[in-house]
Amino acid sequence: MYLLGLAVVLSLLKLAELGPVGAWSWWPILGVYAAAAAWWAWADWSGYTKRKAAQKMDQRKKERIERQKAAMQPGSRRR
């Protein structure tokens, strides 16, 4: 996601011809887009995306269980 954001910023700088990026050719900017596409392809192929989603869901589950345990403790009433 960061690479895509960088590519968009570089594209906008190139189109506006601001700073040193305005003098660059389009190839380096297109290379950043290609790197973003390669990252996504690798992340999907390797299972990285699903692993990260599963870790996030596990963390949410643990936090929810801890909140429920804390709410069940004696002396902890809802007000």
> What is the model's pLDDT at position 76?
67
Domain count, the chain: 1
Q: Confirm whether 14 is domain-assigned.
A: yes
Q: Confirm whether 79 is domain-assigned.
A: no
Considering the entire predicted model, what is its pTM? 0.66
Report yes or no: 32 and 6 within 8 Å, Cβ to Cβ.
yes
Residue 73 pLDDT grade (very low, low, confident, very high; cuts 50, 70, 90): confident
pLDDT tens-digit series, residues 38-59: 999 999 999 988 898 999 999 9
Q: Confirm whether 37 is domain-assigned.
A: yes
Report yes or no: 3 and 28 within 8 Å, Cβ to Cβ.
no
Q: Confirm whether 45 is domain-assigned.
A: yes
C-alpha distances in Å from residue 33, one per residue of 42, 46, 57 = 14, 20, 30
> What is the model's pLDDT at position 78?
60
Q: Confirm whether 78 is domain-assigned.
A: no
Host domain of residue 68: 2-72
Q: Confirm whether 77 is domain-assigned.
A: no
> Is the pLDDT score of 79 beyond 60?
no
One-letter amino acid of 14:
K
Q: Confirm whether 11 is domain-assigned.
A: yes
